[in-house]
Each structure stands twice: as C-alpha cells, then as structure tokens.
Structure 1
C-alpha cells in the first residue's frame, strides 16, 4: 500500500521539477534574445497598417521613413470597437494580445503602446502553450519528457522565431494560436468528463489560430474535422446533452467568423496578392503569356505587365498600375482564387515548377527587413545572430528541394501510421496521432499557398507556418529516435543482467 501511494507522488514531483526547469530555461532564452540591448525586432514592410486600424494603434507620421529598414516600438493608442473584441465583427485574433498589452501599458502609466510589452505577452503565451502541449502529451518516461522539452525549446525558441514577437506582424499569433489550439485538443482528449467549458475553450483557441492571418483560413476544414472527430469519438462520456448541437453550432459560427475575416482582408491585401499571383507568378516565366491570360479569362494586353509585382513605383508599369481604375475594371473584377486554382489544376507542370521554386525558399525564418531601432546600431542591418543555431543549421544544411520535403514528411507520417495501427485499443493515443496528422496537413497546405496565391513575392515570409510545422515534424522524429535508442539500451542492459 505504501509503495502504491508514494510512486505517483515521486512521479508528480519529478514532472513538476522538470516543468519548472524547462520554464526557467525558456525564460532565460527569451530574455537573452529579446531583452538584451540593443533590442531587436522586425521593421514594417507595410503590413502593420491593417492591424493598427482594428487594434486601436496609430503610427507617427515620421515613422513612414523607417519602412523596411528600422524597427518602430512605440505607437499612439486609441479606442477599440467593443464589437471587434466580442467577435461580433470578425477581426484578426491579434486584437486580444494587443489589447492585453495596451492594458498593461495604461496600468503602468505609459502614454504610448510599446511593442516590448506585446512581445512579453507573446512570450508568456508561447512558453505556456509549449509546456502545456508537452504535459498533455502524457509522456511517461521522465528522460523522454526532458529530452522532448529541451529539443522543443532549442528549436521552437530559436531567435529567428522570437524576433518576430517584437513587431505587429501576424506570424507570432499564427504559431502561438496553433499551439494553444493543439493544447486545447490534447486537453479535450485527456479529459475524463468533457463538457461545455472544454468545448468552448477548444473553439476559442481555434479562433485564435484561424483568425491570426488570412493564410490560416486554409486550415479551417482540418480544424473543424479534428474538433468533430474528438467530440464524436468521446460522445459517450461527454458531460452535455445534445452533443451534435453543441458541436455544429460553434462550427458554423467559426466558419462565419473566418468568412468575415476573408472578405475584409480580401478587399485590401487580397488585391495585391492576386496581382502578384498572376503577373509575378503565372506570367513571370510563361512561354505564352497571352494564352495563359486567355485561360484565366483576362484581356491579352495585360501581358505587358508580366514579371512585375504590386509594389513597384507607378512609373514602372506600362498601363495596369495596381489599384488603378483601369486595373480594377480589367483585372480585379475578372480574377478570382477559383480561377487561379483551376489554372494550376489544368496545368500541373506549371504547379510543380512553382512548388520547386517554393521549396528553394523554404527553411528561412530570417528576413532582409531591418532588425533594430534607428540609432540603436550604427546603421540599417538585417543580420541577427542571437540563439539562431537551429535556424542557421536548417537554412544552411537542409536540402531546399521538393523531393526532400515530400520524403521527410512521408517518412515521419509512415512511422505515425505504424504507431496508430499498433494501438488499436487505445483511443486517446490514436486521437493524439490524428491531431498530429491534422497539424502536418495544415503545414502541407501552407506549402503551395505562397506561390499559387502570391506568385514569387515574399515567398520565404509566407512559409513561416510551414517552417514551424516542419520543425515540429523534426522534433517528433528526434523524440522517436531517442525513444527507440532508449528501448534498445534497456533491452541490452536487461540481457546482460540475465546472463
């Protein structure tokens, strides 16, 4: 009896100590990367305005000259529409951490919004979500748990991930939202008597992820699938009546929310991405631009702008300047995402070439945007080398080829399928693997999106979520190898003892 009671206590205390250790290490890394002078960040390339407009922030007029080159950390604060905070008006989920950071700034007596406060909010959310996922995976062996934790911190707290936290880009919210959603799914899988609270948490976390950036909307079908799958797999023990109603009603609201975000952003940044997808994508390396335009249902004389993106000076265009009246009439009103998808379905070779180009831009979480405030360093620099061992290694040594990406993903998924088949009677274990498949699927869906939806413009930056999920596959592969080595070592020791 004594032994039965003391073993769990030892196990709990050991796990608690491991979590505290990992938390301290994570905090030390983030402090070194983000809060060590000169303070790093990422300069605005024109993306901040659509976030500031809904989050109640204003940029100083002089800050326009800092675009691409220097970080701006302070912004004026104005009110936020309460309907946006309540989700009645679909809005980027960045509004919530920004609102929390604004509240901290006001409480501290600050007259301006400081992105250093926002980065601290992001760091707390990020570290907490990583540790939550690690705990909810229910790794039994302490050595495996510690190894998984350390390699997760080494990879996921890389400086080229953390540096984006000191900015108004949507990249931090994407990866934080995904981890929080994964943690919510794992919590629901683990829960003995799930109810409305667990389900509400799951749907709110899905909003945080899907609403982070326009490109996350492609994950909506997979997000809805895994929610419905988990709920219906555990419907016998669900602590609520009318399970179908409680699942499908929030799912419909989630679709409405995402639709609202899509319509809102599609009318602004969507125009630039469509311009890039055609002129800087389909037509850029086309042997017959006029024929391609005919397939898209567009006028043939648009070919004069082939190879141009939407961010050139107006005088660089022959006729069809982005956002101009004639471009609105002849291009924007006639093009659609469905037409773009149809084009690549009918021209698979062009799609493969595009994916090969995308692969050449993969594994890069760094950028050529300025990394410091004006005056903090001698001049503009995009270089950043604080705790970037992993991203430097990945960028320098991972083959940036489509065949490598497919082969690696296939190898990891094959192992997971084997594990899935081996644990036929363990529902919780199988649901965790299905969640892993969904995460992988989200990453794979992210891969073709930059080229199909934006041509060759800003490809590396738009692969941010893909790179993050690929890193999760790397972590899974490393932990699997460590676990196998541990089992082999244990068997060999047992064999020696028997002899």
Structure 2
C-alpha cells in the first residue's frame, strides 16, 4: 500500500506541473462559482443593451427593469425575425457573444440564450492564459516554489470578483483574460521558453482583442506599441524584426481606429460628465472654473449631475448645449485645466485611488432574485483576495506613485545590468512592468479627464488587473531571489 501511495505521489510530482495545478484549481473554483446553484453573475447597470441588442438578443423578462443593478439575470430572448437594432458600439466582444450564441443554439435552445454559455466560453479562454502565465513565472523554478506561485495565481485570478464578470455582457471578463495573455507572452519571450514567433502572435491577437473590446482601451495601444520597441531588438534576424515591427505598428493603429470609431453619443455622454462629474465636482468656485475655461458661468448649475438622471435641468441635446457647452472644451483643455489647478487634480486622483482597488462595482449584485438573496447582495465565495485588497489598500494616489516607483526602480536596476551586458531579452521583464504600470495609469488618467468620477470602479477595472499582475510578478521575483541566496549559502 505504501508503495502504491509513493508511486502515485511520484507520478503527480513529475506530471502535475505548477501550471497544470493552477489550471485545475481555477477550473474547479470557477465551475462551482458560475455553474453550481446559486449561480453567480453580474447585474445589469443599463449597459447590456448596447452590446446584446445588435447581437440578436432581447430582454424576455417583464420585471427586468426592477432587477437592474440588484440581481443577476441569466436568460435572454433570441430574435426569431429581422433585428432592426443597429450596432451601438464596435467591440471584439461581439465575436465571443456570437460564438456563445452558436453553442447555445446547438446544445440548449434556439429561442432562449443562457448567458452561462458566454461564461463557459470565457472560462475556456481563461484556462490557457493561466497555464501560460504560470509557465512564464515558474520557468526557472524547481520543486515547491513553483507551486507556491501557482497557488498565489489561483488566489488572485480565480477570485469571484473577477470571474463573476464572465456571466454578464460586460467586457471586463474578456479584458482580464487578454491582459493575462499579453503578460504571459512577454514573460515567455523573456524566459525564451517557447517559440518567439508564437509568443509574438499571442501578444498580437490578445492586444487587438483587448484594445477593441472597449473604446476606453484605445490609449493602451500606445503603451503596448512603445513597450514593443524592445521586443524588436531581442533577435537580429530580419524576419523576426519585420514581424515585430508589423505587430506593434498594427496594435498602435488599432488604437487609433478604435478611438475614431467611438460613437458620437458616447462622446457627448463622456464629455458632459467630464465637466459635471469632474471639473465642477470638487471645484470650490465652479463659476470661476468655467470662466477659466472660457465658458458661461451659468453652467455651474449642472455641477454634480450626470447624463442619465431622470430629471434634468436642461435638455442635454438642446441647441444651447450644442452651441455653448460641448464645443468649448475637450480632453486637452480639461487636462490643461487640471494641471493649472493641482489641488483640485489631486482630489480627483485621490478619488480615483479610492475606487482603484474595488474590482466589483458597489451598485451591482451577483445573485438571481429567485435564490432569495437581497437586492445588490454580493457573493463572498472565494473572494478573500478582492475583499482584503479593497479593505486594506491605501486610498491615496501617493500610494500608487510609490507602487510604481518601487517596481520601476527594482526592475530597472536589473534591466540596466542586462542592457550593459547587451542582453536585450533580459530587459523584457522590466518592459512588462512598464507596460502594466503605464496601462494602469493610462486607465486612471483617461477615466478622470474623459469621464470624471462617474462609475470609477468599473472604469478602473483594468488598473486592478495590471496592479495584481505586478504583485504576482513581484512575489515570484522575491521567491527567486530568496532561493538564489539560500543556494549560495548552502554552496
């Protein structure tokens, strides 16, 4: 008996690699969370219609409006006739909704769409991302340390605050998965573990999906393209350099195209809230703030209002607004205003920091009404990491600056050493850290300057992903340093 147990243990030790261990754990936890009653998902905050209406779906629940924000709804109707709804937003998410819709029709129903098919599809996409990420983090680890890193990966990214988005029409679930793929691609290029062309292709596809999933992600294309410059130099052969240059040029252009395709309606919404929920929100003298920007001070009455509120002080599409309000400011002028008023900008940045560590929006519940859970109630199944981070993370922007400096300095020193040794591949870990920190700050800046403080938690979702990836990479690096020092002492 002891011999059998020993042989089984040896087999597991040799075949159950850290990456397979992580995949199995993520699979089990997420299956229980999303596909075992009570089902966990995300309630609609009013945004779902923009994406599902043009994908052949409609609300088939008469009480749907009463369920918004508070309860998760898993079933929607499938159009059986011509869909007159035009495309509201251009998003790569539609590709995956159509794939889930096809699976739904094949295995479930041609009239009712169960959003769990979309959740299952995204889980299937997540598992290879986890495998590659852990493979990149543990490439040079032997024995138990690799399993520690795998367990930490599961602890962070199997958290239901993240995976609950899979059972919804929010694009955040897809954004999480693609950023994991991008990070895994850079890590594996750094480790030189797999084929460089394959990893370049992985970064290319994941970046395009990430950038085109949501218009807000358009600036991320610039960050990825800039970080791609180092990738160009890791190999000297012409074919790879042409491939790398083409890859990151197309990624950059995808951001430009995505920005150009932002619907005029959304530009108006964001522009309105940039002023009313941004510039005017924390201004001690809103009339003066408007005058500084060359605008009519009477618009100070709109302070604190949002585009969607039921009772409005003025028709937001009126000739007055079209002529004297919207044309008089833009992203550049608002950013200039904030830079000229650093105290107010600091308040907005601190406000953003307060919402930068909450993965789940406060307003949205996770359970179906039929399960008996309260309106807006959230799950706490496997959410220790997100709960802990939200509770203990400092709600100051200075902490974010400190976080960035610590990581940039620590990895920058190592990168400089590799650069002096002409080992460009060795600088890619620093390159990835720059990508994650740059993307995180880009999200915060674009949100504040482009939409004020409206819905900050959901808008800052990508920041959470980038922050958590740096924490995971940092923990793996510290473990490597510890093992190296211990090996030196033993030698």
Give your verdict on TM over 0.5. yes
Instruction: Please state whether the residue corresponding to 1:113 is helix, strand or coil.
Output: strand
How far the C-alpha of 1:284 sits from its partner, in A, is: 1.7
Change (3 A) 1:267 1:412: same
Distance 1:324 1:187 in 2: 54
Q: How many residues align?
A: 470
**Match runs of 1:391-410 below 5 Å:** 391-410=386-405
- Structure 2 match to 1:459: 456
Cα deviation 1:183-228 (Å, max 9, x = unaligned) = 3444555378755x76554332211111122221121111112334
RMSD between superposed Cα atoms in Å: 2.9
Deviation string 1:337-356 (CA, Å, 9 cap, x unpaired) is 22222222322232122111
- Kept in 1: contact 2:367–2:378 (CA 8 A): no
C-alpha distance in 2, partners of 1:470/1:453?
21
Question: Which deviates further from its counterpart, 146-155 or 293-302?
Answer: 293-302
Shift of residue 109, structure 1, vs aligned partner:
4.1
Q: Which residue of structure 2 lines up, in the alignment, with residue 481 of structure 1? A: 478
Distance of 1:262 and 1:60 partners within structure 2: 33
Aligned to 1:230: 231
1:294-334 deviations in Å (ceiling 9; x for gaps)? 333332221111121222112xx333x43445333332333
Mapped contact 2:137–2:187 kept (Cα < 8 A)? yes
Q: Distance between the aligned counterparts of 2:373 and 2:433, measured in 1?
A: 45
Map of 1:215 onto structure 2: 216
Given the two structures, how large is their TM-score scaled by the length of structure 1? 0.85
Mapped partners of 1:119, 1:469: distance in 2: 22
Written as runs of structure 1 = structure 2, the 5 A alignment for 1:49-64 is: 49-60=49-60, 62=62, 63-64=64-65
In the alignment, is the contact (CA less than 8 A) between 2:415 and 2:427 conserved in 1?
A: yes
Q: Which moved more, 1:374-383 or 1:390-399?
A: 374-383
Q: Report the counterpart of residue 4 of structure 2 in structure 1.
A: none
Distance 1:30 1:198, change over 3 A: closer
Seen in structure 2, the aligned counterparts of structure 1 residues 229 and 418 have a Cα distance that, compared at 3 Å, is closer
Partners of 2:434 and 2:14 lie apart in 1 by 30
Aligned equivalent of 1:351, options 345, 359, 363: 345
* 1:267 to partner: Cα distance: 1.6
Seen in structure 2, the aligned counterparts of structure 1 residues 192 and 411 have a Cα distance that, compared at 3 Å, is: closer
Partner in structure 2 of residue 4 of structure 1? none
Instruction: Tell me what 2:266 maps to.
Output: 269
SS of the residue 2:453 aligns to: coil
5+ unaligned residues in a row in structure 2: which ranges?
A: 1-9, 83-87
The whole-number CA distance in structure 1 between the counterparts of 2:344 and 2:30 is 42
Residues 88-135 of structure 1 deviation map (CA, whole Å, 9 limit, x = unaligned): x99311122212211211221422222111111111212211211221
Q: 2:453 aligned with 1:443, yes or no?
A: no
User: How far apart are 1:230 and its partner, in Å?
Assistant: 0.9
Decide whether aligned partners of structure 1 residues 250 and 28 sit closer, same or farther in structure 2, where only a CA change above 3 A counts.
Answer: closer
Bigger CA drift: 177-186 or 159-168? 177-186
Q: Is 1:385 paired with 2:380?
A: yes
Change (3 A) 1:428 1:93: same
* TM value normalised by structure 2: 0.87
Is the contact made by 1:177 and 1:212 (CA closer than 8 Å) also made in structure 2? no
SS in 1 for 2:367: coil
Unmatched 5+ stretches in structure 1:
1-9, 82-88, 495-499
The 1:251–1:418 alpha-carbon spacing in structure 2 relative to 1, beyond 3 Å, is closer
1:117 paired with 2:112, answer: no
TM superposition shift of 1:376: 2.1
Equivalent residue, structure 1, for 2:128: 128
Cα separation, 2, equivalents of 1:440 and 1:459: 18
Q: Is the 1:358–1:448 Cα contact (8 Å) retained in structure 2?
A: no
Give, in whole Å, the separation in 1 of the partners of 2:373 and 2:417.
59
State the match for 1:413 in structure 2: 408
Report the equivalent of 1:93.
92
| Residue 283 of structure 1: aligned partner | 280
